[in-house]
């Protein structure tokens, strides 16, 4: 199947207009499905035209890259796999930032093996590390590109200053950060900076970690190991307050014969032609639903209506715990 394609900025890297975030298959959102089922699902995503898959060393740690590597091995050269470096991992846990050159190199060698590839298509710095000069980080990735171990360089949750510093050393192909109708902070300075520099944007959680699908409400309970159980925005009272956004999307969806999730994704896609969202899912029918967003046409009137309505809704609750928030460079 041929899905619409998009280019990530000026880099020339072309991917399916919607990618697949693989994190939830083995990290953050338990209970985790059977690995065999996820291999089948990843391969069916390729059959449906998805060519852009997102993983990271710390998802698991390690097991998510292994899963993606095994599932996508038959499609070498046909798909783009993105992974990330930038944390210390001890005893199977993520402990603090580490973007020192030797750690980047060690991680790349290990990720190449787990992903079963000779070259990493897109390598992101997972979080900006204030202890390591950006020139050293981008310089190391530049060397890895010369060595043929990496093709493109990306950053995640980076602020404008960090992006500019990195881009001056090595062109940044894509920034991956959270962006959706209920987290619009990138509209402040980030999107205009990316446009100016010719950098693509890869929004994660374009469905608000599931909230914008309309399948979560004030009565939903999360497992204690579910990342959302500790997120202020997902507290019961905040879910009640934030329901207004979902109700708005549902109204528009009913007029388009679409689902709430499809309208939320179509809104993200409509913002810029160089935006490629990577909603995550472990269910094939949800993948099909997400890809169906490419057929939902939002008119300028629809977009205006959504923007006006959302600007009147005061979204309640921080998107991360205080500790997680400290790792974000703004």
What is the distance between the alpha carbons of residues 264 and 182, in angstroms, rounded to a whole number? 10
Provide mean pLDDT across the span 98-108.
Answer: 98
Provide mean pLDDT across the span 252-281.
Answer: 97
What is the pLDDT confidence band of residue 329, given thresholds at 50, 70 and 90? low
pLDDT tens digits for range 144-168: 999 999 999 999 999 999 999 999 9
pTM of the predicted structure, to 2 decimals: 0.97
Is pLDDT at 330 greater than 60 in this prediction?
no
Nearest of 253, 153, 257, 143 to residue 200 by alpha carbon: 153
What is the distance between the alpha carbons of residues 132 and 88, in angstroms, rounded to a whole number? 14
Q: Which two tokens stand for residue 203?
A: 């929004």
How confident is the prediction for the chain on average, in pLDDT? 95
Q: Judge whether 179 counts as a catalytic residue.
A: no
Tell me yes or no: is domain 5-325 CATH 3.50.50.60. no
pLDDT tens digits for range 69-81: 999 999 999 999 9
Q: Which two tokens stand for residue 205?
A: 């959680």
Going from N- to C-terminal start, the domains of the chain cover: 5-325
pLDDT tens digits for range 285-306: 999 999 999 999 999 999 999 9
φ and ψ at 52, to 5 degrees? -130, 115
What is the distance between the alpha carbons of residues 314 and 306, in angstroms, rounded to a whole number? 14
pLDDT value of residue 246: 92
What is the distance between the alpha carbons of residues 222 and 129, in angstroms, rounded to a whole number? 31
Give me the catalytic one of 59, 124, 152, 179. 59
pLDDT tens digits for range 55-73: 999 999 999 999 999 999 9
DSSP 121-176: EEEEESS--TTS-HHHHHHHHHHHHHTTSEEEEEEES--HHHHHHHHHHS---EEE
């Amino acid at each position: 199947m041929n899905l619409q394609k998009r280019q990530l900025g000026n880099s020339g890297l072309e991917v399916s207009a919607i990618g697949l975030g693989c994190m939830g298959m083995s990290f953050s959102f338990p209970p985790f499905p059977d690995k065999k089922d996820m291999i089948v699902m990843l391969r069916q995503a390729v059959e449906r035209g998805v060519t852009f898959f997102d993983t990271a060393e710390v998802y698991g740690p390690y097991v998510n890259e292994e899963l993606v590597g095994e599932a996508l091995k038959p499609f070498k050269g046909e798909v783009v796999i993105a992974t990330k470096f930038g944390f210390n991992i001890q005893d199977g846990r993520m402990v603090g930032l580490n973007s020192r050159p030797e750690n980047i190199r060690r991680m790349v060698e290990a990720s190449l093996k787990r992903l079963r590839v000779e070259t990493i298509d897109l390598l992101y710095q997972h979080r900006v590390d204030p202890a390591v000069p950006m020139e050293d980080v981008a310089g190391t990735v530049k060397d890895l590109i010369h060595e043929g171990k990496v093709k493109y360089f990306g950053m995640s949750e980076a602020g404008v200053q960090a992006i500019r510093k990195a881009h001056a050393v090595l062109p940044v192909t894509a920034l991956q950060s959270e962006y959706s109708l209920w987290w619009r902070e990138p509209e402040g300075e980030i999107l205009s900076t990316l446009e100016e520099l010719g950098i693509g944007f890869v929004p994660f959680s374009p469905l608000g970690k599931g909230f914008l699908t309309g399948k979560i409400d004030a009565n939903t309970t999360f497992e204690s190991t579910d990342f959302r159980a500790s997120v202020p925005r997902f507290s019961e009272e905040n879910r009640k307050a934030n329901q207004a956004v979902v109700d708005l999307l549902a109204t528009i969806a009913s007029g388009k014969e679409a689902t709430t999730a499809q309208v939320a994704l179509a809104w993200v896609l409509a913002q810029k032609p160089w935006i490629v969202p990577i909603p995550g899912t472990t269910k094939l029918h949800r993948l099909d639903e997400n890809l169906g967003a490419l057929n939902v046409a939002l008119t300028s009137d629809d977009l205006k209506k959504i923007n006006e309505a959302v600007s009147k809704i005061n979204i309640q609750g921080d998107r991360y715990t205080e500790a997680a928030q400290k790792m974000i460079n703004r």
